[in-house]
Amino acid sequence: MTAVSEPAELPLIAECRLDLDGLRRQRDRYRALGRHASSATRRPQQLTVRFDGAVDVGLLLDTIEVERGCCPFFQMTSDVERRELAVSVPQPQQDLALDAIVSALGVTRLIAGVG
């Protein structure tokens, strides 16, 4: 039997302003949101996640607010009505930061977009 490990800690991204404790709390917020992720689409420099109707919208908005404060390179938008989060990065070398969000969400089914 193969053990499946929990999603990894968010990697420390050079531009991130969170300390280790703040990073852990943000990871926990993402994990809670990830339990309600219904789809995720990953393209170069872009990530779009849709959530089911049970997602805590307040938690989603709080998570975005923290992310904007600690990682201003993220361009984040949310559509509360559609329960959708869109995140992009301006530089290709920041693309790994989007993978960190995917990992923190624990998204296992990812639609790889073209482009």
Q: What is the pLDDT of residues 2-44, one digit of tens each?
A: 333 344 444 445 567 777 888 889 999 999 999 999 999 999 9
Residue 74: count of CB within 10 angstroms of its CB: 21
Q: How far apart are CA 94 and CA 53, in angstroms?
A: 31
Q: Give me the residue label for tokens 């908005």.
A: 61
Task: List domains and CATH numbers for the chain.
Answer: 20-111 (3.30.1360.40)
**Residue 74 scores a pLDDT above 70:** yes
Specify the pTM. Answer: 0.80
Q: What is the pLDDT of residues 39-54, one digit of tens each?
A: 999 999 999 999 999 9
Secondary structure of residue 88 in the 3-state scheme: strand
